[in-house]
Amino acid sequence: MKHIARKRFGQHFLSDGGIIDAIVDAIAPQPSDSMVEIGPGLAALTQPLVERLGHLHVIELDRDLAQRLRSHSQLTVIESDVLRVDFSQIPVKAGKLRVVGNLPYNISTPILFHLLDYVHIVQDQHFMLQKEVIDRMVALPDSADFSRLSVMLQWRYAMDNVLFVPPESFDPPPRVDSAVVRMVPLAQPPAIDVRLFSEMVQVAFSQRRKLLRHTLGHWLETKGFSGTFDLQRRAQEVPVQAYVDLVQQIQPLA
């Protein structure tokens, strides 16, 4: 029986064989890898991955799809909302976990933030996302796409847009362009209080059209910060490293 895509799950199933091959080549799975796929759907990407891996963990929320996937002897199915999954509990053969998936567009950003909690056990991540989201993830400072998402991911990952995916590559076609991003955790990330960093960046971008003295300036006062930081800029004009340097100065005060 044909599975009908469910809007509430943001389902768009990859169907273009050439694109699937290109994604698998970009991921380059090896038999020794421990990998988990988020949102396997109809297994378009799952099957070529598991053929190279030998075994694959998959996370699927849709009950009907999860039941189908359980019939595959080389898959371990985790039937769950991905935002509730503890990735540290997924068995790893050796090294670290590799994470892949065609992420639902409606919750892609929460998933990316959820995975930040497990970045220390992750080797790399390859995700299909709305192209607009990836543009923000990899954006440079002083550009229209540079945002809170850019800062919150770039302090911890090296990222690059590896593949463009047009709407006609899916069934049903989404109304937006897609792309595949590669995310590799930095080997020596800066030592920061992530909770405080997240709070600071959220405040900075809360009114992005205003100068930082109207937003971040007030927040810095509440933290007792007496150092120097140019608040005559807008949030998108400040490089990631400058945000990192600032939070490292604030941490002893917080």
Specify which residues 77 forms β-bridges with: 58
In what side-by-side order are the strands of the sheet with 122-130? 75-79, 56-60, 34-38, 97-102, 122-130, 178-185, 157-165
Do residues 150 and 181 touch, judged by C-beta distance below 8 A?
no
- The annotated binding site for S-adenosyl-L-methionine is made up of 12, 14, 39, 60, 81, 102
- The annotated binding site is made up of 12, 14, 39, 60, 81, 102
Question: Which two three-digit tokens encode residue 220?
Answer: 């810095």
Whose CA is closest to 103, among 93, 95, 113?
113
Specify which residues 180 forms β-bridges with: 128, 163
Specify which residues 130 forms β-bridges with: 178
Residue 147 is classified by DSSP as -
Determine the straight-line distance between the first and last CA of the chain, rounded to whole angstroms.
57
Specify which residues 75 forms β-bridges with: 56
Q: In angstroms, what CA-CA distances link 228 with 71, 242, 244? A: 61, 11, 14
Residue in the block written with tokens 């790399």: 124
Dist. CA 253–CA 231, nearest whole Å? 19
Q: Strand, coil or helix: what is 212?
A: helix
Which residues make Cβ contacts (< 8 Å) with residue 80, sequence separation at least 6?
59, 61
